[in-house]
Amino acid sequence: MFRRYTNNVSKDAMGNLTAVVTGTGEGPRPRIMLAAHMDEIALVVSKIDKGGFLRVVQTGGFDPRTLVGQEVVVHGRMTLHGIIGSKPPHLTSPEERKKAAPLEDLYIDTAMPEDRVRDQVRVGDRITVYREPMDLLNHRISGKSLDNRTSVAILLECLRQLKQMRHTADVYAVATVQEEVHMRGAQTAAYAINPDIGIAVDVTFADMPGQDADESFKIGQGPAITMGPNIHKKVFQRLTETAKEHGIRYQIELSQGPTGTDANKIQITRDGVATGLLGIPIRYMHTSVETGSYEDIVESSRLLAHYIASVDSEYVEGLSCY
């Protein structure tokens, strides 16, 4: 997908994909890193039981309450489809029926004989939920892994818009890996790029029943621009100024500490990176029906493109003076 907008695309040993778009300025040009993680939460085979049923543990933070009855894909020596099963309510005690089945009580049924399962599946193989995306009303989409492939789509749309704009900075758009397990991909990518500015794009909590309005953001009202100790003040200011200048809807998210995103690792790379963060409002995070808005994808990509176009060497030099 990145090759639509640049021929300079590479993959590193971690699995990060980096697309480089060269700026028009004379060197040395500012370097801007855009990071959106493309990994998803998953299950991992921990044991093969009698009968070929698979026991699992999780990596990345599934909500176990949502797993029973899900269709899954087992990524073994061959790709297998299966379902997540548990005891039916008829066979559970009244006490068990009052709470969600713990992950250790769930299993995956591939309908394959035990000997073939043992031949095709190994402990440690990854398992992902199988779910087709679904368009909803009001320009919304629901499906799995909107955290954070929504943001990868934003990077792609940003690069498309930059093709029509003049920008002096070199842009490194990175689809990072292993964000869900402590942001490892962003750490190595940022070290290799050594950017002047790093902007992570990830998801944030959207408004929904039972959610505190002060801790959530409106779907369809643009990205949440983050402020806090993980964020450079002047990057935050320029992002908000750019949004106002171009009529881009935005919200503000206050983070009191580490943001739990790729911005964490980018900020403390080498001798430090001026970091920003856009949060895309998503409902039902870490389930297979994450729900977001196409409008937020468009607004976020516009904001990134216009921000990049505003960056020059003088602005970058000023990042160390505040």
Which sequence positions are flagged as catalytic? Answer: 179
Q: Helix 294-310 and helix 146-162: axis angle, to 10°?
A: 50
Q: Return the H-helix or E-strand segment holding 150.
A: helix 146-162
What would the DSSP string read from start to end of 187-200?
HHHHHHH--SEEEE
Query: 169, 30 in Cβ contact below 8 A?
Result: yes
Query: In this structure, what DSSP letter does residue 207 have?
Result: P
Q: How far apart are CA 151 and CA 157, in angstroms?
A: 10
Residue 98 burial (CB count, 10 A): 8
CA–CA gap between residue 242 and residue 236 (Å, rounded): 10
Neighbouring residues of 149: CB distance < 8 A, sequence distance ≥ 6: 38, 40
Return d(Cα 297, Cα 84) in angstroms, integer.
Answer: 32
Q: Contact, 167 vs 24, CB < 8 A?
A: yes
Residue 134 CB burial class (10 angstroms; 0-12, 13-18, ≥19): exposed
Kindly tell me the sign of the dihedral angle through the C-alpha atoms of 228, 259, 226, 164: positive
